[in-house]
Amino acid sequence: MNDGAISMEVIKNPSEMQAIADKIRQTKRIGLVPTMGALHKGHISLIESAKKETDFVVVSIFVNPIQFGPTEDYKSYPRPYDEDQKILEDLGVDLLFFPFAIDLYPNPQTTFINIRGLENLLCGKIRKRHFKGVLTVVAKLFNITKPHSAFFGQKDYQQALMIRVMTNELNFDVRIRVLPTIREEDGLAISSRNIYLSDDERRKASILYLSLKEAEKLLKKGEKPISIVERQKLLIEREGLIPDYFEIADPETLKPVDGLGSGAVIIVAAKIGKTRLIDNLIVQ
């Protein structure tokens, strides 16, 4: 094992990873950045925060089959492994945990984590079983890589919230860090799925961030969420996108709010062609 950070270790086997994590934890703080690969500036910002805040950075790359629905893009999800490995080496990541599905699910999984109340809202309403798959794999990754801190993006607001709730309620000894969304120049949240967009779709996709900013402005002016939501949905539709939802919600319960109150999250998911994009803004 190379503890001297001369080159990045790549580990596939969960038991081997656990043994390494045990050893590292004796002297260092472990930071975990879970990803599905196809790395971009959003992932890189999480890795850079992990490097600042911890002593040994583990990045996992795992396209998790149990969080994809039968008609979703599990098979076609981008897997540019060589490029990803090079990015991680250049960033000075200490260890890449890169299991095969058979390593994490040697038998069909029968134990799952659910959060009653949150799992069927927003994305959960449309992507049945998605969060159950996400929470279950994150719990496994925590138990395998034994991090002191784990780093997630605000871009996936509902996911980050649910991971926080799971961590608290199941007493995982892991500090959850949620970091700001990294965006393209026109505001589009960077995502591994943006490569699916045609040039025309890519131009139109910037409406999502514009609609969030507009909603924020109106909310701060005191306009009622219900009318803001209707207007922003129309705006998005006019650009040719099909909104799954546009909500102004309580940041903790994700239930719709009827005013700004002590804070809200404006949250959107929409399809453009075959690609589904999500984004959000927290308003204080």
Kindly state whether residue 190 participates in binding ligand AMP, applying the rule CB under 6 A: yes
Q: Give me the helix-helix angle, 207-221 and 225-238, nearest 10°.
A: 160
Binding window for ligand AMP (CB under 6 A); candidates: 86-94, 135-143, 189-197, 216-224: 189-197
Kindly state whether residue 132 participates in binding ligand AMP, applying the rule CB under 6 A: no
Q: Please, are residues 47 and 87 in contact by the beta-carbon 8 Å criterion?
A: no
What is d(CA 197, CA 193) in angstroms, rounded to the nearest whole number?
8
Q: Least distance to ligand AMP from the beta carbon of 163, Å?
A: 8
Rg (CA), the chain: 19
Binding window for ligand AMP (CB under 6 A); candidates: 18-26, 152-160, 249-257, 269-277: 152-160
Q: Name the token pair of 87.
A: 């990015």
Which parts of the chain fold into alpha helices (H)? 14-25, 41-53, 81-91, 101-104, 123-126, 130-145, 157-169, 199-205, 207-221, 225-238
Q: Which of 155, 204, 233, 276 binds ligand AMP (CB under 6 A)?
A: 155
- Tell me if residue 43 is catalytic: yes
Kindly state whether residue 205 participates in binding ligand AMP, applying the rule CB under 6 A: no
Binding window for ligand AMP (CB under 6 A); candidates: 23-31, 38-46, 210-218, 268-276: 38-46
Q: Which of 17, 43, 248, 279 binds ligand AMP (CB under 6 A)?
A: 43
Q: Give me the helix-helix angle, 130-145 and 14-25, nearest 10°.
A: 50
The residue (of 64 and 211) whose beta carbon lies closer to ligand AMP is: 64
CA 214 to chain centre: 24
Q: Which residues are catalytic?
A: 43
Residues that bind ligand AMP (CB under 6 A): 35-36, 42-43, 45-46, 152-153, 155-156, 181-182, 189-192
